[in-house]
Structure formats: structure tokens, C-alpha cells
């Protein structure tokens, strides 16, 4: 084989326009030094191929620049006098590595192009969100403020508006920084990176100045509120304006909101220190308060013993008392408790002891109430049974009435009517019984009509005569009543003398006597007529 026919054409070396030498890595510089130490071209080529292979097979991003620089250094060695078989083998490895590097570069360029496309889409979405900033701020979630913080509640609307906008800008800034880091670590041409960084710069000019302005605004507002809170409630060594436990919750709320708000580092540190100073002062106040509470508990314990003795004495006398006397005695002890200095836990225990004295009486009352309730339930049950029995009696009367005589049927109906009046029944049962009573009334009328139809001729004549006499008697009774009313009006007048008044009274007495006789006669006739009809 010809030693020169298999060599590639030498690539012309292009001189760079810049006079500044290109920087090389320490690894490539060491490779150049090792290459000069080899005497034969085979060794130089073998070393060069090993370096080229390591440049594109390492973990992470391949070092293409070192690969192509090493390739240029190795290429002239193939022109030297080498064993054809060895040169052919080495040349095959050289070509294979070159092809692999180009293929790898194409793959990386495709990955870079995909990454650039995704970064471009993310940048476009970021630009769109930044253009719709006002809309996104309105759609954002409100900030949750603690209920126990009057300072925060008073400024809730201001803080809410500013922090919602800051939250959105913080998110946009975080996305922008993330995209910037992604571009830095992604392999792409410098001009593409330059374009991306230019867009990053434009977006940053729209995000970061506005974000800084809002941070300054909310920081100043928060620091002013913390200062006002401290000046209002912490005057020297004194804590004023509110109970210490309320101020403690307020400090916790302010410290919590300092972590929620996007504050500048200086304001965050200053407010944290200011609130820590207030907290230390509260600790001192709380310590003093605990001392006072301890002293009051000691006094309360001594006072409690005196009250407990009176409760024990009352407990020894409770068996011979009624509930009213017991309540009167308990009320006296309670009044004394109100005048005595006692801790609220002691008051609660003493009240529980007094309540235990009333428990037997209350249990007895409850037992009596249950007994009354049971009696009412029993009374209601009996009444329901009587209503059921009454309905059954009405039903039996309706069923047996057509075969009964008029007098027994009429008597039984009157008994049912009287029993209905005695019972206090519900509206529905009353309506049902009223319908049944109307049926009984019709049945009684039918039975009377049937009796009249089957009377003998003499009985009918007697009945008709009695009815005519009854009508005449009733007419006569009406005339007497009218005459009585005439005398009564005459006596009511004021123009009568004594003799006339006496005369009218005598006439009225006579008419009343006639009316009585007439009523008795009418009653007797009605009874006879009823007997004939029955």
C-alpha cells in the first residue's frame, strides 16, 4: 500500500484575526507536553487517539474544542514513515473517532435546539404573564392575617395589595433566574446565548426595579407599624395599653407576618430585634405577674379553707332541710365568696362542692318529674283507650241500631253524646265522632219514621190530636210571653203611680203562673207524643 495515498488532504490552517492567543485547558497543555516526549509517530498517534477518545467519552459535556485541536496535532503524524499495517489500523480509529465526534455533536446540537425551543417557550410565557400583571394580581389569593393582631388588621388592605403583587413578581423573578441558569448550563452557540441574555435583561428591567420599589414600600410600612406598636405599648420598662398576654400574641403575629412579607434584609433584621426587645420586656412583666398570682393563690388558699368549713357545716345539716332553705344557705355562702379574695379555680371548686349538696334534692325533683310524666302518659293512654272504646260503641250502635227500638236507641245516643262531652279528645277524633253521630241521628230519625208508619188507626188519631193540642199550647205560651213582656216594659217606665205599678205586678204574677202551667202541660204532651211515636 502506498503510504501517501490513504492520507486525507491537509486542511488549510486559518489564521485568526485576533492577536490574542486562545486559552487552552490544563489537560490539553499536559497532552501537548506528553506528545513531545514520544519519539515515534505511532506512539504520538496512539496518545492522540486516547486523548481524543477521552475528550468525547467523559461524563458531562464533551470537550469538542480539545478534540478538534488534538485531531489537528495528530493528523501530521500520519504523513511520517509508519508501518502501513499499523498506520491503516490507527487511521481507522482516527476516522471512527472523527465520525463519532461529529455524530455526537449533531446529537448535542439537536438537544441544544430542543432546549432552546423550550427556553424560548418559557420566556414567551414569562413575557405574557408580565404583560398581564394587573389581571394576575387580581386573581391571586389574599394574604391570611392573624385575627389576634389589631396592627395587621388595621393595615390588611394595604399589605394585602402590595404583597400579592410582590408574590407574583417573586414568582416571575424566580422563573427568570431559573431560565438564566438553564441557558448557562445548556450548550449552544454564543450568539444564541447572547440573544437569550438580552431578553433576560429586558425582562429583568421590567421585574426587578418594580419588585425593589414594592419591597421598599412594604418594608417601610411594616417597620413603621412595628415602631408604633413598640412606642405605644413599651414605654421604658413599663408595658401599657393592653394586657401582657394580648401583647404577646400581637408580637407572635408580627413576627409571623415578617416571614410572610417580602421585606428587605435590613428591615427584617431591625424589626426582628425590636420585637425581640419587646418580647424580653414582656417576659419580665409576665414574671412579675406570676409572682403576684402566686401570692394571690396563697391568700386564696387560706380564704378557701374558711369557706370549706362553712360548706362542711352546711353539709352536716342538709338532711333536715328542704331545697328552699338549702338554696338560701348556699346563697349566703356564695355572697360571702364574692366578698372574699379567691382564685377563679378555687371559686370553681367551691361552687362544685355547693352543687353536690343540691344533688340529692335535684335527684328527688327529677324523680317526681318523671313520676308526673309517667302519670301523664298513663292518663293519655287511658284516654286513648276510652276514645277507642267509644268509637267501637258508636260502630256497634250503628250496626245494631236498625233492629233496636226508638227509646233504647235514643237513650244510647244520649249516653254517647254525654261521654263525648266528658272526654278531651283531639280535633281529628272529634271530627270522626261528629260524622258518626250524624249517622246515628239519621238512624234515629229513620227509626222514628218507621214507628209512625206502623202505628194503629186509633194511635194515629190520638197522636194527631195531641199534636194539634201541642201546637195550640205553644201558641198560647207565646201569647203569655208577649203579654209578660208588655207588662215588664210598662213597669220599666217612669210615669206610673204606685197603684198602677201594684196592678201591673199583680197581672205579671198571674201571667207567670199561667206560663208555668202551660210549660208543664206542653212537657206532658211532648212526653205522650214521644211514647206514642216510640
**Of 224, 233, 225, 220, which Cα lies nearest the Cα of 278?**
233
Average pLDDT rounded to a whole number, residues 290-298: 76
* 288 pLDDT more than 70: yes
Residue 23 gets which letter from DSSP?
P
For 297, phi then psi, to 5°, come to -65, -40
pLDDT, residue 7, reads: 33
3-state secondary structure of 234: strand
C-alpha dihedral sign at 331, 332, 334, 335: positive
**Three cell numbers, residue 431:** 271530627
Higher pLDDT, 147 or 403: 403
For 235, phi then psi, to 5°, come to -110, 100
Confidence of residue 435 (pLDDT cuts 50, 70, 90): confident
**Of 296, 274, 287, which Cα lies nearest the Cα of 244?**
287
For 234, phi then psi, to 5°, come to -125, 95
pLDDT in tens, 122-162: 888 888 887 777 788 777 777 777 776 777 777 788 888 88
- What does pLDDT average to over the chain? 79
- Paired residues of 238 in beta bridges: 235
**Whether the predicted model's global pTM rises above the 0.75 cut:** no
Confidence of residue 269 (pLDDT cuts 50, 70, 90): very high
**Of 483, 485, 515, 488, which Cα lies nearest the Cα of 501?**
488
* 472/466 Cα distance (integer angstroms): 10
Confidence of residue 519 (pLDDT cuts 50, 70, 90): confident
* 336/338 Cα distance (integer angstroms): 5
- Paired residues of 234 in beta bridges: 239
Average pLDDT rounded to a whole number, residues 416-422: 81
Q: How far is CA 159 from the centre of its chain?
A: 26
* 18 pLDDT more than 60: no
pLDDT, residue 534, reads: 57
**Of 480, 478, 479, 484, which Cα lies nearest the Cα of 504?**
484
Q: How many CB atoms lie under 10 A from the CB of residue 49?
A: 18
**Three cell numbers, residue 139:** 386573581
3-state secondary structure of 435: helix
For cell 409571623, the residue is 256
3-state secondary structure of 125: helix
pLDDT, residue 363, reads: 84
* 168/133 Cα distance (integer angstroms): 8
* 523/293 Cα distance (integer angstroms): 96
- Paired residues of 235 in beta bridges: 238
Higher pLDDT, 12 or 507: 507
**Three cell numbers, residue 454:** 206502623
For cell 205579671, the residue is 508
Average pLDDT rounded to a whole number, residues 407-413: 79
pLDDT in tens, 58-111: 666 777 788 888 888 888 888 888 888 888 888 988 888 888 888 887 777 777
* 483/504 Cα distance (integer angstroms): 11
Q: Are 326 and 318 in contact (CB under 8 A)?
A: yes
Radius of gyration of the chain (CA): 60
* 206/199 Cα distance (integer angstroms): 11
**Three cell numbers, residue 438:** 250524624
Q: Are 171 and 211 in contact (CB under 8 A)?
A: no
Name the least confident of 64-68, 161-165, 314-318, 448-452: 448-452
pLDDT in tens, 355-385: 887 788 788 888 888 888 888 888 888 888 8
Task: Give the DSSP H/E element, type plus range, for residue 67.
Answer: helix 64-74
Amino acid at each position: 500500500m502506498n503510504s501517501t495515498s490513504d492520507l486525507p488532504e491537509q486542511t488549510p490552517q486559518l489564521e485568526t484575526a485576533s492577536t490574542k492567543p486562545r486559552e487552552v485547558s490544563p489537560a490539553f497543555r499536559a497532552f501537548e507536553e506528553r506528545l513531545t516526549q514520544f519519539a515515534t509517530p505511532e506512539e504520538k498517534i496512539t496518545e492522540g487517539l486516547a486523548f481524543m477518545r477521552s475528550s468525547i467519552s467523559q461524563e458531562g459535556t464533551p470537550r469538542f474544542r480539545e478534540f478538534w485541536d488534538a485531531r489537528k496535532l495528530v493528523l501530521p503524524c500520519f504523513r511520517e514513515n509508519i508501518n502501513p499495517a499499523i498506520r491503516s489500523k490507527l487511521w481507522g480509529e482516527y476516522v471512527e473517532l472523527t465520525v463519532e465526534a461529529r455524530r455526537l455533536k449533531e446529537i448535542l446540537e439537536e438537544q441544544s435546539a430542543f432546549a432552546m425551543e423550550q427556553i424560548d417557550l418559557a420566556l414567551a410565557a414569562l413575557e405574557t404573564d408580565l404583560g398581564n400583571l394587573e389581571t394576575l394580581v387580581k386573581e391571586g389569593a389574599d394574604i391570611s392575617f392573624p385575627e389576634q393582631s389589631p396592627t395587621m388588621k388595621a393595615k390588611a388592605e394595604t399589605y394585602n395589595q402590595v404583597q400579592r403583587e410582590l408574590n407574583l413578581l417573586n414568582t416571575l423573578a424566580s422563573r427568570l433566574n431559573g431560565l438564566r441558569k438553564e441557558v448557562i448550563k445548556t450548550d449552544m452557540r454564543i450568539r444564541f446565548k447572547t440573544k437569550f441574555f438580552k431578553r433576560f435583561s429586558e425582562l429583568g428591567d421590567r421585574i426587578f426595579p418594580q419588585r425593589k420599589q414594592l419591597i421598599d414600600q412594604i418594608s417601610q410600612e411594616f417597620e413603621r407599624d412595628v415602631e408604633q406598636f413598640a412606642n405605644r405599648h413599651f414605654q421604658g420598662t413599663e408595658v401599657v395599653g393592653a394586657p401582657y398576654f394580648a401583647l404577646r400574641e400581637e408580637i407572635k403575629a408580627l413576627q409571623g407576618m415578617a416571614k410572610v412579607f417580602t421585606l428587605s434584609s435590613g428591615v427584617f433584621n431591625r424589626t426582628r430585634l425590636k420585637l425581640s426587645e419587646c418580647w424580653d420586656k414582656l417576659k419580665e412583666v409576665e414574671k412579675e405577674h406570676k409572682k403576684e398570682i402566686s401570692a394571690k393563690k396563697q391568700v386564696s388558699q387560706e380564704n378557701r379553707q374558711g369557706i370549706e368549713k362553712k360548706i362542711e357545716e352546711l353539709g352536716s345539716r342538709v338532711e333536715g332541710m328542704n331545697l328552699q332553705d338549702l338554696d338560701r344557705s348556699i346563697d349566703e355562702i356564695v355572697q360571702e365568696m364574692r366578698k372574699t379574695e379567691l382564685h377563679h379555680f378555687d371559686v370553681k371548686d367551691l361552687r362544685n362542692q355547693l352543687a353536690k349538696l343540691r344533688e340529692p334534692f335535684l335527684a328527688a325533683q327529677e324523680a317526681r318529674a318523671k313520676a308526673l310524666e309517667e302519670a301523664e302518659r298513663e292518663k293519655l293512654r287511658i284516654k286513648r283507650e276510652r276514645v277507642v272504646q267509644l268509637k267501637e260503641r258508636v260502630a256497634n250502635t250503628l250496626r245494631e241500631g236498625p233492629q233496636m227500638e226508638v227509646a233504647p236507641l235514643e237513650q244510647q245516643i244520649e249516653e254517647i253524646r254525654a261521654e263525648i262531652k266528658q272526654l278531651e279528645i283531639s280535633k281529628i277524633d272529634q271530627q270522626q265522632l261528629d260524622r258518626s253521630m250524624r249517622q246515628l241521628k239519621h238512624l234515629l230519625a229513620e227509626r222514628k219514621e218507621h214507628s209512625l208508619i206502623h202505628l194503629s188507626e186509633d194511635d194515629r188519631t190520638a197522636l194527631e190530636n195531641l199534636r194539634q193540642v201541642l201546637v195550640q199550647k205553644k201558641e198560647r205560651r207565646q201569647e203569655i210571653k208577649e203579654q209578660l213582656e208588655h207588662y215588664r216594659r210598662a213597669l220599666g217606665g217612669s210615669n206610673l203611680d204606685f197603684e198602677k205599678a201594684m196592678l201591673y205586678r199583680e197581672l205579671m204574677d198571674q201571667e207567670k203562673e199561667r206560663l208555668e202551667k202551660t210549660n208543664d202541660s206542653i212537657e206532658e204532651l211532648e212526653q205522650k207524643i214521644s211514647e206514642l211515636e216510640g
